[in-house]
Chains A and B, each alone.
Chain A
Amino acid sequence: MKKIFLLIAIFLLLTPGIVRTESGRALLENAAGFDNKTVTFRGEVIGVIPRGDFAWVNLLDNEGYAIGVWCSAENAENVLFIGDYKHEGDTVEVIGTFHMACAEHGGDLDIHADNFTIVERGHEVDRSVNLPLAALSIALAAVAIFIAFYLWRIRKEREKILPWPSY
């Protein structure tokens, strides 16, 4: 039994596409090396674009590199949260074929997903108003109005005493 586990462990370690999750940076900077190979990529969903029975799911990894994933519409429908200003998107792990320039999709760099797993649900992000900052900004705006008004009055007073010279 031990030997079987050992063999599985060695197999998994030697198959980077299956075990090791590739970073977006590694995939993008060494696209030729990964072309048409099976890779594992994990990232936050930042966009779901349905296309009939399929869908594009754009994933953003934690280093800020984004890659489009071509998956079934069924997989895409499981995504509940899409990352934007007010949401942290679902984290998805895909195992699929990486294409440096996909012939099926007009030369796009993409991953065709064979396996699509939601590993962590996204959530709403608290974007409540920072009250001290809001108060400060209103105070600054009031100062701006006061300065504008004060300088305008001084100028009017001066113009009464000394009209502008004409050149």
Chain B
Amino acid sequence: MILPLTKDDLKVIGYSMSKIVYLVGVLLFLPIIVAVFYGEFDVIPFFLVGIAISFICGSLLYHFLKTKKEMELKHALVMAALIWLVAPLLASIPIWLANATTSYLDASFEGISGFTGTGLTLVTDIDHLSRSINFLRHFLQFLGDGIGIIVVSLSILGTTEMSSVLAFKGEAKDVGIRPSIVRTSRIIIGIAVTFLVIGTVLFTAAGVYAGLDPGTAVFDGLNHSMTGYATGGFSVRSQSLLYYHNVWIEVAAIVIMVIGALNFNLHYAVLGGKRKEILKNMEVRVLLLFLVVFGVFVSANLLQLNLYSSGEALFRKSVFHVISAQTTTGFQTVPASSLMFVWPVLSILMLSISMLIGGCANSTSGGIKLLRVGVLFKSLVKDIKRALLPKSAVVKGSFHHIDDVPLTDTVAKGAAVIALSYLILFSVGAMITVAHGYSLEDSMFETSSALSNVGLSTGITSPTMPATLKVTYMFLMWAGKLEIIAIFVLIGFIILALRKGIRK
């Protein structure tokens, strides 16, 4: 029997949120440093307003909802679902005040797209955006998707109670590197910062080689490294990576996108000396398989139409976009309108499937995740074997993911539930987009991009798109990031409160 909600349930959720709301305020100080460095003093008040509102909200939540009641799984999931809405809404205040978007709705879209690592943008003029606001957009992706806001809070606040473990799961980061959750979260940050530095060096070197001045190369490199590792896809340029017209910047992006799409556990194992794990891991094998299959098919399709005839062009356009889609990053080297008006439907559909599948579980990627797809495929093979063998035969299955994991029906069911939820949301999102007058293939592409937190766009996402579609995509980005279950629990929580009320 499901017990009715009590005021204490709300207090537990609100109190745990208060600390993260404070943290958002503290983290907004970082773009102020960037603003001072680049002499953008006129932007600083916008950040101060964001910081002040975050602190006021945090103080009110902390004061009125303070409780010592221990968090349960339902609280953790609802808290994770809510904080992934509240944090972007607060962080988007400076974006809105700086007139980077035409409305607060658009700024909120930008905030959610940033935090969830999606990369779809409604900023009206990226090329004239202040560097500090641009840094904020990229930093949100690194913080939200590259690391995870709850991971950051655990690492800084050092909370060790059970609630932390639960909140961690609510954020869809079920990483079990070390027994201590604080230690694990600090390792995740360590891995992220290490790859951020490597990515910045790669992008900067490629940028200088491409002809950028060193200052621009460092700034662009840092930001693209943040969003590349976070598989977020925001860019400091409206043309995304096409701006640079350089293959080495695209190679740097491919390296950092693939790194970001790999599992944290795998990073830890490889960095800890288990180098062979990268060859044995099922997820890595599935990733390579999909990259090869989609890469070959999309290239063949584009070659057939004689759109890109040279090997270099096929690599820089076809292979690059397959990697960008599969890793759920969203960097582009063709204009959005080329995807809508020039690329063939088959390529667009293949990229849509690639985006829906996404990268590795417990990585910065979105989508259904390669681990689940691998598990579902293996369990299908297991079921076929079971049907072919005599009744008395025992069919066992396993897969290698850091350790050898037995393939049980429970594991397969868990993967199937998430995959089915994604497909339902994808269908609903695509239908809503079609209802707004867009073609089916473009609607499928844009919906899978939003739901899987990718950011590739055919141009549907723009400041002029209908508000209802903006809200739909905001919901899809949010639900996709939290792997849907937390959203269902939140909806259940609300229905329970409405039906049975909230007791003392």
Contact = CB atoms under 8 A, between A and B. Distances in A.
Nearest to B49: A137
Nearest to B58: A148
A65 B313 CA distance: 22
Contacts of A31: 337-338, 341-342
Interface centre among B46, B51, B335 (most CB of A within 10 A): B335
Contacts, number: 157
Interface in A120-152: 127-130, 133-134, 136-138, 140-141, 143-145, 147-148, 151-152
Given A28-B337, A85-B128, A56 B245 contact: yes
Contact of B52 (A28, A127, A141): A141
Contacts of B40: 85, 127
A138 B242 contact: no
Contact of A143 (B52, B58, B60, B130): B52
Interface stretch (B61-69, B271-279, B404-412): B61-69
Contact of B245 (A46, A49, A103, A154): A49
Contacts of A60: 127, 238
A143 B57 CA distance: 12
Nearest to A108: B245
A32 B130 contact: no
Contact of B68 (A50, A85, A128, A166): A166
Nearest to B244: A49
A103 B309 contact: yes
B431 interface: no
Given A108-B242, A138-B48, A143-B52, A64 B125 contact: yes
A164 interface: yes
A150 to B, nearest CB: 9
B238 A66 contact: yes
B123 to A, nearest CB: 10
A147 B59 contact: yes
A96 interface: no
A155 B66 contact: yes
B45 A107 contact: no
A3 interface: no
B59 A129 contact: no
A20 interface: no
Contacts of A151: 59-60, 62-63
B372 interface: no
A110 interface: yes
A58 B211 contact: no
Contact of A165 (B68, B245, B333): B68
A84 B40 CA distance: 12
A63 B116 CA distance: 28
A146 B202 CA distance: 46
Nearest to B245: A56
Interface string A33-72: 0000000000000110111000110101000111010000
B74 interface: no
Interface string B156-183: 0000000000000000000000000000
A55 B334 CA distance: 19
B124 A64 contact: yes
Given A30-B341, A144-B51, A109 B125 contact: no
Interface string A152-167: 1011000000001111
Nearest to B46: A137
A101 B58 CA distance: 52
A28 B462 CA distance: 15
B312 interface: yes
Most A CB within 10 A of own CB, among B48, B245, B335: B245
A29 interface: yes
Contact of B55 (A83, A148, A166): A148
Contacts of A167: 68-70
A58 B45 contact: no
B26 to A, nearest CB: 12
Contact of A103 (B55, B246, B313): B313
Contacts of A109: 242, 334-335, 338
B41 interface: yes
Contacts of A140: 48-49, 52-53
A100 interface: yes
Most buried by B among A66, A128, A136: A66
A105 interface: yes
Of A58, A106, A148, the most chain B CB neighbours within 10 A belong to A106
B242 A68 contact: yes
B131 interface: yes
Contact of B131 (A47, A83, A85, A145): A85
B55 A107 contact: no
A37 B224 CA distance: 34
B470 interface: no
Given A49-B245, A107-B313, 11 more contacts: A46-B238, A49-B210, A55-B211, A56-B245, A58-B237, A64-B238, A65-B335, A68-B245, A108-B245, A136-B45, A167-B70
27 contacts: A47-B237, A56-B245, A66-B239, A68-B245, A85-B130, A100-B307, A101-B308, A106-B245, A106-B313, A107-B312, A109-B338, A127-B42, A128-B42, A129-B42, A130-B42, A134-B44, A137-B49, A140-B49, A140-B53, A141-B55, A144-B55, A147-B56, A148-B58, A155-B66, A165-B68, A167-B69, A167-B70
Closest 8 interchain pairs by CB? A107-B313, A137-B45, A137-B48, A151-B63, A144-B55, A28-B337, A140-B52, A144-B52
Interface of A: 25, 28-32, 46-47, 49-51, 55-56, 58, 60, 64-66, 68, 83-85, 100-101, 103, 105-110, 127-130, 133-134, 136-138, 140-141, 143-145, 147-148, 151-152, 154-155, 164-167
